[in-house]
């Protein structure tokens, strides 16, 4: 029996895919199956997956399906997985050779339902610009422990999949699967995990390399963006309610709804948004008067990030045209900086 099943949904990431698969194949001393779910790719990913499966038929299984989204693709992998632990890797990232070896050793020692470990965040345009992130909470051996330390758990990429190992029997026991929501299905998955979780092993070393790419799903205009983010905020609030901890974590509830509004503001200033300025203002006003006055304003007093703090004040003043202006200006500055930096880097490389 395989010790770990690596599940990798694949969709139009041809230039990064080989590196991700090699990362999976290079795992040391761990009997690992690699399940590649080609989710209707049109750029040659299917051929790359098949080629690797021919080279390593005992380790790699390829499943081809029509495009359904990364959540259903991961479900397909889960339905086929037989490893004791599940690891979800993204096809445009990569990870160190000892990721599974080190974290599975910890899992065997403590037998947790989930293992959490550190990662490195970097940009595809400049791999040298990186930041190491490490979990800042102790080993958690009971449901009471987990909930007591949840504030710190929340601060460490709580919705990411790639900094965690999940015990397969735990996922199956509680029927935990992904929804078909286009974005944020990882958040909804982990909220369901947290609903039942009672033991977490913590490894403060960094193994995974999370690479941000231009043109990722968060950087596209989506008409349904707010509804998807609202689903996450509501699921999170429901989790706190089921725990009986709404009063303890009001700040986190406020943060979830604020995040939904923040992302919708960024969505509205995207160049592909078809709405007029008046329609954009009205949309923000409607959202604020639905969740802002009840879920954000009373719970979220400020933000440590200066820009987000300024935006929060603008929302509370109901100056939504100013909020849109601030977000658009920020994005333009960030885009200019990226272009200038890229030009300078190319100059010194040539």
Max CA separation in the chain (angstroms):
61
DSSP 140: B
Asked which of 172, 187, 217 is the last residue of a domain, the reply is: 217
Give me the number of domains the chain comprises: 2
Q: Where are the beta strands (DSSP E) in 200-347?
A: 200-212
For 346, other C-beta atoms within 10 Å of its C-beta total: 9
CA pair distance 314, 316, nearest whole angstrom:
5
Quick check: is 60 in a domain? yes
Query: Tokens 């293992």 sit at which residue?
Result: 115
Each residue's pLDDT tens digit in the chain (350 positions)? 799 999 999 999 999 999 999 999 999 999 999 999 999 999 999 999 999 999 999 999 999 999 999 999 999 999 999 999 999 999 999 999 999 999 999 999 999 999 999 999 998 877 778 999 999 999 999 999 999 999 999 999 999 999 999 999 999 999 999 999 999 999 999 999 999 999 999 999 999 999 987 655 557 899 999 999 999 999 999 999 999 999 999 999 999 999 999 999 999 999 999 999 999 999 999 999 999 999 999 999 999 999 999 999 999 999 999 999 999 999 887 766 544 444 434 433 44
The answer to whether 107 and 85 have CB atoms below 8 angstroms apart is: yes
Mutual angle of helices 277-287 and 250-268, in 10-degree steps = 170
Q: Say if residue 212 is in the same domain as residue 291.
A: no
To the nearest 10°, the Cα dihedral for 302, 307, 312, 314? Answer: 130
The gap between the terminal CA atoms of the chain, to the nearest Å, is 51
- The pLDDT score that the predictor gives to residue 218 is 55
Burial 139-167 (b: 16+ CB within 10 A, else e): ebeeeebbbebbeebbebbbbbbbbbbbb
Q: Which two tokens stand for residue 37?
A: 């779910």
Q: Say if residue 184 is in the same domain as residue 314.
A: no
Q: Say if residue 114 is in the same domain as residue 210.
A: yes
Q: Say if residue 177 is in the same domain as residue 324.
A: no
Q: Say if residue 243 is in the same domain as residue 335.
A: yes
Burial class (CB in 10 A: 0-12, 13-18, 19+), 121: middle
CA pair distance 204, 188, nearest whole angstrom:
25
Q: Which two tokens stand for residue 200?
A: 């977490």
Q: Return all residues near 5 (Cβ < 8 A) that are at least 6 apart.
A: 32, 33, 35, 77, 81, 82, 83, 85, 86, 87, 168
DSSP 106: H
Q: Say if residue 93 is in the same domain as residue 12.
A: yes
Bridge partners of residue 62, in order along the sequence: 36
- The pLDDT score that the predictor gives to residue 336 is 62
Q: Which two tokens stand for residue 43?
A: 């750029």
Burial 11-29 (b: 16+ CB within 10 A, else e): bbbbebbebbbebbbebee
DSSP 296: I
Q: Return all residues near 130 (Cβ < 8 A) that are at least 6 apart.
A: 120, 121, 122, 123
The answer to whether 267 and 222 have CB atoms below 8 angstroms apart is: yes
Quick check: is 94 in a domain? yes
Q: Which two tokens stand for residue 229?
A: 């983010």
Q: Which two tokens stand for residue 348?
A: 């010194």
Q: DSSP assignment of 266-295, as one string?
A: HHHTSTT----HHHHHHHHHHHIIIIIIII
* pTM exceeds 0.85: yes
Q: Say if residue 38 is in the same domain as residue 108.
A: yes
Bridge partners of residue 8, in order along the sequence: 36
Side-chain-side CA neighbours of residue 111 (13 Å): 1
CATH code of the domain covering residue 23: 3.90.550.10
Tell me which residue range forms the domain holding 318: 221-339
Asked which of 167, 185, 217 is the last residue of a domain, the reply is: 217
């Amino acid at each position: 029996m395989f010790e770990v099943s690596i599940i990798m949904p694949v969709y139009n990431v041809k230039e990064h895919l080989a590196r991700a698969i090699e990362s999976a194949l290079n795992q040391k001393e761990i009997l690992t199956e690699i399940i590649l779910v080609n989710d209707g790719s049109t750029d040659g990913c299917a051929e790359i997956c098949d080629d690797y499966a021919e080279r390593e038929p005992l380790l790699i299984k390829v499943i081809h399906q029509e495009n359904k989204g990364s959540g259903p693709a991961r479900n397909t992998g889960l339905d086929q997985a037989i490893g004791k632990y599940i690891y979800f890797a993204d096809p445009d990232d990569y990870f160190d050779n000892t990721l599974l070896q080190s974290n599975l050793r910890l899992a065997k020692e403590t037998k947790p339902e989930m293992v959490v470990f550190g990662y490195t965040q970097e940009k595809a345009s400049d791999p040298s610009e990186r930041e190491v992130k490490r979990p800042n909470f102790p080993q958690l051996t009971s449901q009471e422990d987990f909930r007591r330390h949840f504030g710190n758990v929340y601060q460490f990429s709580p919705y990411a999949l790639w900094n965690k190992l999940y015990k397969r029997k735990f996922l199956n026991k509680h029927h935990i699967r992904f929804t078909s929501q286009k974005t944020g299905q990882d958040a909804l998955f982990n909220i369901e995990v947290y609903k039942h979780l009672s033991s977490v092993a913590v490894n403060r070393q960094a193994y995974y390399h999370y690479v941000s790419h231009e043109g990722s799903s968060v950087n596209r205009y989506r008409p349904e963006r707010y509804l998807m983010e609202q689903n996450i905020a509501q699921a999170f609030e429901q989790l706190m309610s089921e725990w009986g901890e709404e009063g303890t974590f009001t700040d986190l509830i406020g943060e979830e709804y604020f995040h939904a509004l923040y992302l919708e503001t960024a969505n509205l200033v995207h160049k592909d948004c078809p709405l007029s300025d008046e329609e954009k203002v009205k949309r923000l006003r409607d959202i604020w008067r639905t969740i802002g006055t009840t879920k954000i304003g009373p719970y979220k007093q400020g933000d440590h990030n200066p820009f987000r703090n300024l935006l929060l004040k603008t929302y509370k003043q109901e100056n939504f045209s100013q909020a849109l202006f601030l977000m658009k200006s920020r994005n333009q500055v960030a885009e200019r900086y990226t272009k200038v930096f890229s030009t300078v880097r190319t100059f010194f490389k040539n």
